[in-house]
Amino acid sequence: MADELFRHESPVEFFREQVEGAMQRQQLQASDWTVYYIVNLLASFVLPARLEQMNAREPLGVRLARALAAEGGPRRDDLRHIADHSLFLAGFFGDSFQRRLVDVDYYICLGGFAYSRLATHDNDAFSDVFGELAEKFVPVVDVLSDISDRSRSSNRDVLRLYERWMRTGSPRDRALLAEKGLTAQASRRIQ
């Protein structure tokens, strides 16, 4: 009986299943390499060293300015860390930024911009992946939010969901409102 409560799989296997399911629910198509990148990105965040990188005291905007002034490998590495952290934060913790100095849209802009800069490096094997992530940043944030929401055991605050939809216009949030019996109109008014 106890064996049924625990699954024996690696973080990569766990997140592959989660990402593929969320992408289906969000009706997001992405290349196999982009899915591979997202899965491995999420799996990397279970490592303590990766979480320590996120705890840097310097704001991501300042780090972005410094990265843009750098060249070569350090520039690429810094841009990638900024983009990855922005994606992770916006997807998993977007609700926690509400009514703060910096909102989720800040991380969306920062991450999308950093990925778009990475996509311009033709000699990078992942430049196409970075381009796709830049182009589909909000839908990928929705995929991560979907994973985050399904991992929570408590009910979602409908007002916060509505307020987030009002700010972002996210199709995912609109669908979640519909699941709760609320119709969100194109003018972003709830009925």
Instruction: Please indicate, yes or no, whether residues 72 and 144 belong to a single structural domain of this protein.
Output: yes
Instruction: Please indicate, yes or no, whether residues 95 and 140 belong to a single structural domain of this protein.
Output: yes
Please enumerate in sequence order all residues whose Cβ is within 8 A of that of 22, keeping only pairs 6 or more positions apart, or say none: 143, 144, 146, 147, 150
Instruction: Please indicate, yes or no, whether residues 142 and 187 belong to a single structural domain of this protein.
Output: no
For the chain, the domain total comes to 2
Instruction: Please indicate, yes or no, whether residues 191 and 100 belong to a single structural domain of this protein.
Output: no
In tens, the pLDDT along 81-95 reads: 999 999 999 998 877
In tens, the pLDDT along 99-139 reads: 666 788 889 999 999 999 999 987 888 999 999 999 999 99
Instruction: Please indicate, yes or no, whether residues 57 and 105 belong to a single structural domain of this protein.
Output: yes
Q: Which domain covers residue 100, as residue numbers?
A: 2-152
Instruction: Please indicate, yes or no, whether residues 32 and 69 belong to a single structural domain of this protein.
Output: yes
Instruction: Please indicate, yes or no, whether residues 102 and 176 belong to a single structural domain of this protein.
Output: no
Is the pTM higher than 0.85? The answer reads: no
